[in-house]
Amino acid sequence: MNRIFLALWMCGMLAAVTADGQTDTTVYKNLAAEIQQKHAPDKRSVFFRTIIKSDSLIVESTSEAALKEYVQSAKTLKGLKVVQNLLPDSSLGAQTYGIANLSVTNNRSNPRNSAEMVTQLVLGTPVRVLKKEGPFYLVRSPDGYLSYTDRQAIALMDLAHFKRWQTAEKVIFTADAGHAYSESSVKSSRVSDLVAGNILEVKTKQGKFYQVVFPDGRPGYIEKDQLQPYKEWIGKPDPKADDILTTAKTMIGVPYLWGGTSVKGVDCSGFTKTSYFLNGIIIPRDASQQVLAGTAVDIMDNDKLSTEKCLKNLQPGDLLFFSASKRRGISGGRVTHTAIYMGKGEFIQSAGMVMISSLLPGAANYDRSQVPTIVGARRFLNNIGKPEITRIDKHQWYNGD
């Protein structure tokens, strides 16, 4: 909205009180829609919300620019007192940091157990805590994604505690799955299940076990052969295509799970994200975000997939992107699916379960459902260190550098 239009719009909205003296909340809602479109079009990365309570209008956001523009505009209206809240919410005090405390957390679109699960965090993931709503916390994960997680799922910390965790000696769980035990024996009672990518602080070494401590302080024992020293793991060279594909193939048969980003269950972008994460690389959460990262690979002739270009230009480790709207003959629709190219026309994807498919029509594993919806491909492996493709050891939340 340009300034002239905004000025004209504001003139028409000054009368926010109806003839009978009641506040017309429509004008405030219209203003909120305009500001959100301008400053917070993607709710996955920018939080913006307005709430009307009694004679007050509460506006809260992670965007200072959105708050400033909304408050300035709303003050010219009549009828409600405007209260602004720049997140993190002050009620959290100093505890605006946290570490994922469960093997896998289930994070939702709204602060309700019945709400859509949109993503997951694995144990040891650092987060920024933005606000508390009932038994849920709004958090931002290292990939910039916003979601609500249960209070048991994260250990809250102040900055000093968080920095201590960053510099503490840690290990990463590298087996597919396992357990932490109450004593240095697999016959002792279990403290928690574990999955690949879990990060824990080390206390001592006892025989064939590491004694570890969970973010909430629970002690546990894990077999050494299922762990790798964290500094050693994050210090590895940038992964090659074989590294990504080896990890991806370990998940063959893992069920599709909407919002899943762990070896317990993955959605399509959770699968690509996890394949990269377990090799030390953080990429965006959703397919429609991943398609904006990396560099484009030419595989299309106008709006149609070119098999010849795929075989010529694609490299193993590249991501393929799909749009379900193509099934309805609509071009330029939202990206709704992603997969990892393997070479020789094959790709690996989470669709029902993790499986290997082919984009070649004559192949026995040709995916006649997905292939016609391919809309592009992106290369990540030669873009590590560029925006949205970050080594874990270069991410400030993990290491504080």
User: pLDDT digits over 136-180, tens only?
Assistant: 999 999 999 999 999 999 999 999 999 999 999 999 999 999 999
- 22 and 125 fall within a common domain: no
CA angle 257, 262, 265 (to 5 degrees): 25
Q: For residue 151, give its domain range.
A: 92-165
- 81 and 113 fall within a common domain: no
Helix (H) / strand (E) containing 301: strand 300-301
- 44 and 110 fall within a common domain: no
Task: Tell me the pTM.
Answer: 0.92
- 101 and 82 fall within a common domain: no
Range with lowest mean pLDDT among 5-19, 68-82, 184-198, 259-273: 5-19
Q: Report yes or no on 389 lying in a domain.
A: no
- CATH number, domain of 112, equals 2.30.30.40
Residue 20's pLDDT is: 46
- 97 and 210 fall within a common domain: no
Q: Report yes or no on 373 lying in a domain.
A: yes
Pairwise pLDDT comparison (109 vs 23), residue with the higher score = 109
Average pLDDT, the chain: 93
Q: Report yes or no on 29 lying in a domain.
A: yes
Say whether pLDDT at 11 is over 90: no
Confidence of residue 399 (pLDDT cuts 50, 70, 90): confident
Average the pLDDT over 314-342 and give the result.
Answer: 95
- 182 and 294 fall within a common domain: no
Region for 345 from its dihedrals, namely left if φ exceeds 0, alpha if ψ lies in -120 to 50, beta otherwise: left
Confidence of residue 103 (pLDDT cuts 50, 70, 90): very high
Confidence of residue 401 (pLDDT cuts 50, 70, 90): low
Residue 61's pLDDT is: 97
Sheet of 81-86, strands arranged across: 48-53, 56-61, 81-86
CB 220 within 8 A of CB 212: yes
Say whether pLDDT at 220 is over 70: yes
Confidence of residue 291 (pLDDT cuts 50, 70, 90): very high
Average the pLDDT over 209-232 and give the result.
Answer: 98
Give the end of a domain, one of 234, 259, 281: 234
DSSP states of 153-195 = GEEEE-HHHHHHHHHS-EEEE-SSEEEEESSSSTTSPEEEEEE
- CATH number, domain of 347, equals 3.90.1720.10
Confidence of residue 23 (pLDDT cuts 50, 70, 90): low
Residue 27's pLDDT is: 85
- Counted domains in the chain: 4
Give the end of a domain, one of 25, 52, 87: 87
- 159 and 172 fall within a common domain: no
Q: Report yes or no on 355 lying in a domain.
A: yes
Give the end of a domain, one of 136, 165, 194: 165
Say whether pLDDT at 6 is over 90: no
Q: Report yes or no on 394 lying in a domain.
A: no
How many Å apart are CA 385 and CA 401, to the nearest integer?
A: 15
Average the pLDDT over 300-321 and give the result.
Answer: 97
Pairwise pLDDT comparison (38 vs 21), residue with the higher score = 38
Q: Which two tokens stand for residue 287?
A: 């397919």
Say whether pLDDT at 7 is over 70: no
Say whether pLDDT at 21 is over 90: no
Say whether pLDDT at 364 is over 90: yes
Residue 28's pLDDT is: 85
Average the pLDDT over 74-82 and give the result.
Answer: 80
250-286: burial string, b at 16+ Cβ within 10 Å, e else = ebeebebbebbbbbbbbbbbbbbbbbbbbbbbbbbbb
Region for 350 from its dihedrals, namely left if φ exceeds 0, alpha if ψ lies in -120 to 50, beta otherwise: beta
Q: Tokens 């299940």 — which residue?
A: 193
* H-helix segments, 135-290: 159-167, 230-234, 241-249, 268-277, 287-290
Residue 253's pLDDT is: 98
Range with lowest mean pLDDT among 29-43, 175-189, 239-253: 29-43
Range with lowest mean pLDDT among 5-19, 38-52, 79-93, 95-109: 5-19
- 160 and 172 fall within a common domain: no
Residue 22's pLDDT is: 52
Residue 322's pLDDT is: 98
End-to-end Cα distance, the chain? 39
How many Å apart are CA 30 and CA 292, to the nearest integer?
A: 30
- 115 and 204 fall within a common domain: no
- CATH number, domain of 48, equals 3.30.70
Q: Report yes or no on 395 lying in a domain.
A: no
Confidence of residue 182 (pLDDT cuts 50, 70, 90): very high
Q: Report yes or no on 347 lying in a domain.
A: yes
- 137 and 107 fall within a common domain: yes
How many Å apart are CA 108 and CA 114, to the nearest integer?
A: 9
How many Å apart are CA 235 and CA 280, to the nearest integer?
A: 9
- 78 and 20 fall within a common domain: yes
- 111 and 40 fall within a common domain: no
Q: Report yes or no on 393 lying in a domain.
A: no
